[in-house]
Structure formats: structure tokens, C-alpha cells
Amino acid sequence: MTTELLATPSPSTATGPLADAQAQLAAAVETLDYGAGLHRLLASPRREMTVSIPLHRDNGAVEVLTGYRVQHNFSRGPAKGGLRFSPAVDLDEVRALAMWMTWKCALLDVPYGGAKGGITIDPRNYSVRELERVTRRYTSEILPIIGPEKDIPAPDIGTDERTMAWMMDTYSVNVGYTVPGVVTGKPVSVGGSLGRPSATSRGVVQIALAALAHNGLEPRRSSAAVQGFGKVGAGAAAFLAEAGVKVQAISDQYGAVYAAGGIDVPALAEHVELTGSVVGFAGAEPMDAAALLELDVDLLVPAAVEGVLHAGNAGRVRAKVVVEGANGPTTGEADAILQANGILVVPDILANAGGVIVSYFEWVQGNQAYWWTADEVEDRLARRMLAAWENVLAVSKARRITLREAATVTAVERVAEAHLTRGLYP
Ligand code: GLU
């Protein structure tokens, strides 16, 4: 080992998701008995870009937004990860999310490193044309560091297929030819994959059903609460209900609804389509959104944002199984409390990996210009999700560690192995 690899990591002052991500890495490094230099290397983002995004508002005013792209690691392949539009976006959040993408891709054995992008913006306050201008300007600012062999963005909170189409078009116009592989999660009409929009939710439910079965629970005798009714939560609730699970409570950022006998999820989706929120749905009673997390259900799926299970409420969680649809919904303190209370937590980097798996399928299909059927996509997704679940379970048993520790250890080991095999240059 070189001197660099023996250096001591500097003490971190991070808080929030980044502190959690760093603590998870530190625990994995300890389990794997890696030195401080390798630890520092795995903890440090390889590249970070902060950009100003000047925007002409529709009313003529000029506003300057801030955007980020963090490439945490590319030892195993091009960097990969979503683009988030949210008022909560800051550099540390993007760093945490980028690190989690590295572990997610390694755990699922897709040949990518990890990255994340974000713009500090509340998209609800901007018109479609304004969002298009923001997306195109951001894309042209980060253009030098993205590309199908460099870093491949995808949707995340606040962004969607349309955002990806704008990014793909902006990139393509700048390089002078059409490059479908620069982003994933695109509309099918411009090289998107069948099954991509539902992939994260499908994967969440495949893992949730496996975790319930592991706890001796059959879908038809199980109940669930789902926090979030966006790209991940809405699909997860629908697929759980299709599998026979009684989905008793669902929330969004405006409120929550409850029905002891199970919510009619397609009817709720229609209500949300019309009104923009789960609030006021006639087929269920209103409930306190915070209380949803503490319901006496078999399965809890937090599918919204980071840090919703924390030291202040984790002790009141009564679900038997928590399956993390969101990235980072459980803080480190909450994780310890849930574990002490015997609650099985299936970590984000496993549970919500369906999205990036089908992103990988989309990229492969685009590179080959050969398209798979929806059944092919779904079969391959299910096989990868369940193989990863079995693998994480086996590592957790063999090492007597939690599923999160097992998932992180497996992923970190793969990234470290790729790094050590390649060596340091120069
Ligand atoms: N934003 C999603 C995630 O957090 C998908 C990323 C991707 O497909 O690249 O996993």
C-alpha cells in the first residue's frame, strides 16, 4: 500500500443524510478491516460540480438557481444516478445520494459507479416552460462531465420522463447527433425502456413480499402503510394491493388517508390525478401523516424523502418489516432503535434498486439499438432483485450483521476490489 492509502480520514463534520451515509461506510470498512487510506478513498467523491443556473421567469424577471452534480465513484464503470428538483437540495444531500448510488449499483452488480444531481428549486412554483429552461441550462452547464460512457442521469424526486427528454435533446444538440444513452428514464418514443416507470415500485414490492415471507407472513394476511404517493409510493401501493396485501394507509406531502379494510388504490390514484393529493379521498378516512409511520401494520414502506424515521419516532414504529422505498428514510439513530426492537429493515440500496436496474437495461438496449418486451424487462428485473435479496440475507446470516450492514459490506467490497485491481494512477 502507498502512503496515501495509509493516510487517516479527516474527521467529518457532516450532518443529516451525509453523516448517515458516512457512518454506514465507516461500519462496512471496519467489518472489512480496510485501512484508513482506502476508507478515505471510498468516502471521497471523485468529482463535484456546482453550477449557477440563470433563469428568465415567464414574467421577465431573472432568477439564479444553484445546481449540483456529484460523481462519487466510477471504479466499476460510468457514474450513474438521478437528478432531483427539490427546495431541500444542497451539496451534502447530493453527496450522500451519490454515495448510496455507488453502493446500489455495486450491490445489484450493474456496471456503474454512483452519481447524483440536484437543483435547489420547488418545481411546483414554476411553469413547464420555465422548468424546461432550467433543465436545458443545467444540462449544458454539466455537459462536459456527462455522457453515455461518463455519467448517465435519470429521474428522481421532482423530475420525470419529460425532464430526461429535455436533457437528452440538449446534450444531443450540443454534440451534433442523437445520443439516447446519455440519460435513462426517457419516454419510450426517444429510446426509453418498457417497464422503466414502474421498475422501482415493482422492485420494492418484490423485496417486500420476500421480506414478509421471510417473517412468515403471507401477502393475503398482511397489512401495509405506504408513505409517499409519487413515482415510488403510488406504484408500490398498487402492486402490494394486487398481491393481496391490505394497504391500510397512504400519505403524500399534504396529508394521509386510512381504511382499516384496505384502500382501493386505483380509485385513490384517480382522485390524486384529479385533485393533486390524497387528501379528501372519499374511500378512506383522513389521518395524521406522522401517525402513519407508527401504525400497527405488518409492513411499512417509507417512499418519500430522507430522515423520516428518526430518534424521535423510531421507538413508536410497530411494523414488523420496514422496506425503504426512499433513499435514506431511516437515520442512523433510528436504525439502531428499530434493530433493538426486532424490526426487520430492508435497506434502500437493495429495496429501491429496481429503478437503476431497468435504467441499466434501458442503456444496454439503447447501446445495442435492440428493444426488449415488457415481459423480458420484468423477468430480468425480478431475477436480479431476488438474487440480491438472497445474497444480502446470506451475508447478514454469515456475518451476524443487519441487512443494511450486509448490503453495504457487499457493495463496498466490490467497489474496493475494482479499485485495488485497477490500482492508483500514476
Ligand atoms: N433516482 C433513482 C435512484 O435513486 C434511479 C437512478 C437511476 O436510474 O440512475 O435509484
Per-residue pLDDT reduced to its tens digit, 87-115: 999 999 999 999 999 999 999 999 999 99
Residues 1-26: what's their mean pLDDT? 73
Would you say the CB of residue 65 lies under 6 angstroms from ligand 1? no
**Is the model more confident about 210 or about 3?**
210
C-beta neighbour count of 243 within 10 angstroms: 17
**Of 196, 298, 292, 195, nearest in space to 240 by CA:** 298
pTM score: 0.96
Neighbours of 60 (CB within 10 A): 6
pLDDT at residue 389 greater than cutoff 90: yes
Confidence band of 1 (pLDDT split at 50, 70, 90):
very low
Query: Which residue's CA is minimally distant from atom 9 of ligand 1?
Result: 81
Q: How many C-beta atoms lie closer than 10 Å to residue 276's C-beta?
A: 11
Considering only 8-12, 47-51, 71-75, which range has the smallest mean pLDDT? 8-12
Alpha carbons 265 and 369: distance in angstroms, whole number: 36
Cβ-based neighbours of 138, under 8 Å, separated by 6 or more: 51, 53, 67, 83, 117, 119
Q: What's the pLDDT score for residue 10?
A: 52
State the residue for C-alpha cell 485501512: 35
- Determine the distance separating the centroid of ligand 1 and the alpha carbon of 233, expressed in angstroms: 15
Domain ranges of the chain: 45-176, 199-351
Of residues 65 and 13, which shows the higher confidence score? Answer: 65
Q: Which atom of ligand 1 is nearest to the CA of 104?
A: 10
Q: Is the CB of 184 under 6 A from ligand 1?
A: yes
* 203 Cβ closer than 6 Å to some ligand 1 atom: no
- The yes-or-no verdict on residue 3 having pLDDT over 90 is no
Residue 109: burial class (beta carbons within 10 Å; 0-12, 13-18, 19+): middle
Give the Cα separation of 24 and 348 in Å (integer): 12
- Max CA distance (Å), the chain: 66
Would the CB of 359 count as within 6 Å of ligand 1?
yes
Whether the per-residue pLDDT at 9 is higher than 90: the answer is no
306, amino acid identity: E
On the question of a common fold for 45-176 and 199-351, the answer reads yes
**Block residue for cell numbers 417486500:** 208
- Which amino acid belongs to residue 309? L
Main-chain phi, psi angles of 305, to 5 degrees: -130, -175
Find cell 420484468 and name the residue.
378
pLDDT above 90: residue 11:
no
Exposure letters 167-176 (e unless 16+ CB within 10 A, then b)? bbbbbeeeee
pLDDT class for 13, splitting at 50, 70, 90? confident
Q: In the chain, what is the straight-line distance between the N-terminal and C-terminal CA atoms, in Å?
A: 14
Q: Class assignment of domain 45-176?
A: alpha beta
Averaged pLDDT, 20-45: 98
Split at pLDDT 50, 70, 90, the class of 5 is very low
The yes-or-no answer on residue 246 being catalytic is no
Distance 281 CA to ligand 1 centre (A): 30
Beta carbon of 117 within 6 Å of any ligand 1 atom: no
pLDDT at 375 over 70: yes
Give the pLDDT confidence score for residue 337 in this predicted structure.
98
To 5 degrees, how large is the angle CA 304–CA 307–CA 309?
90
Q: What percent of the chain has pLDDT over 70?
A: 97
Class of CATH domain 199-351:
alpha beta
Query: What angle (nearest 5°) sits at the alpha carbon of residue 375, between those of residues 370 and 380?
Result: 80
Question: What are the residues facing 83 on neighbouring strands?
Answer: 117, 155
Q: How far is CA 359 from the centre of its chain?
A: 12
| Tens-place pLDDT, residues 253-267 | 999 999 999 999 999
Return the number of other C-beta atoms located less than 10 Å from residue 425's C-beta: 4
- Partnered with residue 67 across adjacent β-strands are 51, 119
Nearest to 97 by CA among 110, 116, 77: 116
Tell me the pLDDT tens digit for each residue of 289-324. Answer: 999 999 999 999 999 999 999 999 999 999 999 999
